Amino acid sequence: MLLTLAWTPSRDDSCLMTSTISPLFSSPLCVCILVDENDRVVGHDTKYNCHLWEKIESGNMLHRAFSVFLFNSKYELLLQQRSATKVTFPLVWTNTCCSHPLYRETELIEENALGVRNAAQRKLLDELGIPAEDVPVDQFIPLGRMLYKEPSDGKWGEHELDYLLFIVRDVTVNPNPDEVADVKYVNRDQLKELLRKADAGEEGLKLSPWFRLVVDNFLFGWWDHVEKETVKEAVDMETIHKLT
C-alpha cells in the first residue's frame, strides 16, 4: 500500500457529512435513495434529513447504503478510522468505506447492483483517494444486504439497507482528512485483537455498529472465501438480513 499526504478534493466534497456541514449538504445535489424494507425505491431525501434521528424515528425513514470491504493481495482487510468531524460516529474504526448511493441515474441502476457499485467506486476516491482504475466497477462483488438502525447521539443516527461489497485489489491510498482520521490493513488475528480492545474499552477504541454487525454475523466466514478465491460462492442477494 502506498500512502501519500496530499489531498485533492473530488467533485463530491460538498456532500461530506462533517460537523461543519456544507450548505449543499441539504441541497438536491446530496440526496439519498429512500427504500422500503424490501429494498424497493420509494423516494429520496437529503443526506441531512436521512440522518436526523427524529425523522428516522417518526417516519421510519430508511435509505440505501453500502459498505466496502477491500482486501489486498495478502488478504488483509483495509480499515479506516472516521474523522473527528463526522456527523455520525466520529473517530470510530470501521470497514474500508461506508456511504450511500445518491439519487442519480448512474447510482439508481438496480441490475447486478450496478448503481451501488458505481457509488462505491466514487466514494473510494472521495474518502480514500483510491483512483477509479484501481477499483474497477466490475471487480466489486455484492455478497449480501442487511438492514439496521442505530442512534449516534441525541440528534443523528443511521437507518440503512446496506449492500455489502467485497473486492480484492492492491490500491494506492491517499486519505481525505475531512473524512478519514487514519487507515490500516489488518489480518484476522489483528482484527480479533481490535475487537478485544473495543469490547474491553481499551485505548478508547470503538467500532462502527454496522461493521460490528458484519463482523459478528458474516465476516470471518466470508474471509475464508476470500482466501480460497471462492467469494462468489458466498453471494446471497435474495435475503435481506434484518439486524435491527
Whether the CB-CB separation of 194 and 201 falls below 8 Å is answered with no
- Among 127, 150, 158, 160, which one carries the catalytic annotation? 160
DSSP, collapsed to helix, strand or coil, labels residue 136 as coil
CA distance 83 to 55: 24
The answer to whether residue 107 is catalytic is: no
The answer to whether residue 32 is catalytic is: no
Number of Cβ within a 10 Å radius of residue 32: 26
* Closest residue by Cα to residue 125 from 171, 165, 182, 170: 171
CA distances from 7 to 108, 125, 172, 215 (A): 29, 11, 13, 30
- Among 98, 127, 150, 158, which one carries the catalytic annotation? 98
Q: Which residues are catalytic?
A: 98, 160
